[in-house]
Amino acid sequence: MIQAVVNVRGLSPGMLHLRDHYPAEMLPVLDRPFLQHVLDRISACGVRHVHVVLDYFPDRIETFVGNGERWGMHVTYHLAREPYHPYRFLKSLTGVEPASGTIMLVHADRLLAAPIDPAQTAAPAGRPAVWCWREGAAAVPGAWQWSGWAILTLPMLAGIRAEMNYEQVESEIMAWVRDGRADVVATPQPLSLLSYGEYLESQRRVLAKEVSGLVTSAWEADPGIWLSRNVMLHPKATIVAPVFIGENCRIESGAQIGPNVTIGHNCMLDQRSTASQSVILPGSYVGEGLEVNHLIIDRNRLISVQAGTAITVTDDFILASMQENPIHRSLMLWTSQIFGAALLLALLPLLGVMVFWLRVTRRGPVLWRREVVKLPASLGEPNVWQTYRLWSFDVPTAAAPRTVPRRRRGWQNFFLCFLPGLVNVAKGDLRFVGVPPRSTAELELLSHDWRAVYLASKAGLVDEGFVQFGVDCPEEEQYSAETFYAANAGFKYDLKLLRGYFLALFR
């Protein structure tokens, strides 16, 4: 059975500004890395043994691909000692495989625009084939350009010298085509990672459905509009097809998205922002009123496709990462405790007034302490969950537990819940912003997925559901709000929700 040799460079000379976060072939197309689509193509045509030649970032590529089991293939890895000359490995195949055999040669920074006919790879001694494309309709022999994919015989591979670079190998293979030693398989222009412009154009072609056979977990909500799980789309946001929005994204009021925009997982486009003809990579925040046009956004880095230049933005309210740095997590907890204690001391007179007022105006206890689960906690071990007593002036209800927390409106929420809850913030039990505190009984009502998201989060006095939807938040919106917050919690986003909370008090 035919084998494949896949050259994964890991570094595209034309896209160096993205190398901090992505090996080139790991850049997403739709919601999956480019390399995954390449391996999908190879697997679909019946190849079961793949030799992956690695250059830059080999550990990250190998971690993602693994042993190839998910594609039904066996993967063997080879490290190129000279990154610009990765073809030395081909020599070793010529002494192992039968002389009549063939090998599929693939450059993983290009992707064929259509699936391969399995018949072309079924016969081990089949005629060599080179996938080529050309611009325009003119049948000019010299106009063919190589796609980076070919099926070659072992004697041909032996003709590729170890010191050759990519341009020399392309010249050699196209010479075989001109001499009639290999057949041309006409194909549309492949998707490419050779430059920012080609990457952006590849995304456009995928959205325009010019490329077939790509797999995605998103669903087409309307023609040309793909939405993934847990997308929060404000009713006043505008979507102009074609657009792809990844998991756990949030599109705020007044935002306008499209046409030809791909948004990766865990992104947020704030109010009145606009995006067209652009790619927003996973984990990116686009600030209020920002216009994104013919750009690639990678967290706080802005890349102009037309100019080929990159700018790092230091203002977190313009562009930023949506992912909280684990190194800062403990520091943020200590900061929360310090500010909680300081705010509690400053508001002690008000707290005293509230105690006196409640003592005079109602019967029974003034302070109530409800037992809730401390986060984060283990999903599979409820018997070891730690609990703490949440301070509140709000009289508990005898109603059955609910998935959506019971809340007070406006200033009642501040005086009866937020103000006494500062004691728990100062003690480090919870934070200013997070998911709402819940008891064990309330947790048991959540679905498995919801409970998993909740237990991995942090609890806070202010939660996304209340800020966005108020006291009458529906269950499905509460779940979406908590899922989104769990994926995007961070200092900047917490400040935004705190501001939203105090604005909501005046509703």
Structural domains in the chain plus CATH codes: 3-192 (3.90.550.10), 217-321 (2.160.10), 326-504 (no CATH)
Burial environment of residue 253 by CB neighbours within 10 A (0 to 12, 13 to 18, 19 or more): exposed
* DSSP SS3 for 447: coil
* N-term to C-term CA, the chain: 69
The CB density around residue 306, as the number of other CB atoms within 10 Å, is 12
Check if the beta carbon of residue 481 is closer than 8 Å to that of residue 417.
no
Q: Which helix (H) or strand (E) holds 131?
A: strand 129-133
Q: Which helix (H) or strand (E) holds 476?
A: helix 475-488
3-state secondary structure 157-200: HHCCCCCCCHHHHHHHHHHHHHCCCCEEEECCCCEECCCHHHHH
pLDDT on residue 326: 43
pTM of the model: 0.70
d(CA 2, CA 128): 12
pLDDT on residue 83: 66
CA distances from residue 470 to 349, 363, 404 in whole angstroms, order as listed = 28, 28, 11
CA distances from residue 299 to 69, 281, 285, 367 in whole angstroms, order as listed = 32, 7, 6, 45
pLDDT on residue 124: 46
Q: Which two three-digit tokens encode residue 335?
A: 């900061």
Q: Which helix (H) or strand (E) holds 335?
A: helix 326-346
Q: Which two three-digit tokens encode residue 283?
A: 């984990």
pLDDT on residue 314: 74
List the beta bridge partners of residue 102. Answer: 153
Going residue by residue through the chain (507 aa), what tens digit of pLDDT does each one get?
A: 688 999 998 888 888 888 878 889 999 999 999 999 999 999 998 899 999 999 888 888 999 999 999 999 999 998 887 767 778 777 776 555 555 578 899 999 999 999 888 776 654 456 788 999 987 654 455 588 999 999 988 878 777 887 888 888 889 899 888 888 888 999 999 999 999 999 999 999 999 999 998 989 899 999 999 999 888 898 999 999 999 999 989 898 899 999 999 999 989 898 899 999 999 999 898 988 999 999 999 988 899 998 888 888 877 667 766 655 444 556 777 888 999 999 999 999 999 999 999 999 988 899 999 999 998 887 767 877 889 999 999 988 878 889 998 888 888 999 999 999 999 999 999 999 999 999 999 999 998 878 888 888 899 999 999 998 888 888 888 988 888 887 777 787 888 899 999 988 876
Q: Which helix (H) or strand (E) holds 103?
A: strand 102-107
For residue 129, give the nearest of 115, 141, 146 by alpha carbon: 146
d(CA 243, CA 254): 16
Q: Which two three-digit tokens encode residue 40?
A: 């999908």
The CB density around residue 329, as the number of other CB atoms within 10 Å, is 12
d(CA 270, CA 344): 32
pLDDT on residue 327: 44
DSSP 8-state class, residue 18? G
pLDDT on residue 181: 85
DSSP 8-state class, residue 145? E
d(CA 69, CA 159): 32
d(CA 6, CA 484): 37
CA distances from residue 384 to 129, 369, 376, 389 in whole angstroms, order as listed = 62, 21, 12, 16
d(CA 101, CA 126): 8
Q: Write out the DSSP string of 63-84.
A: HHHTTSGGGT-EEEEEE-SSTT
Query: Cβ neighbours of residue 419 under 8 Å, at least 6 residues apart?
Result: 347, 350, 351, 354, 393
Q: Which two three-digit tokens encode residue 471?
A: 């006291």
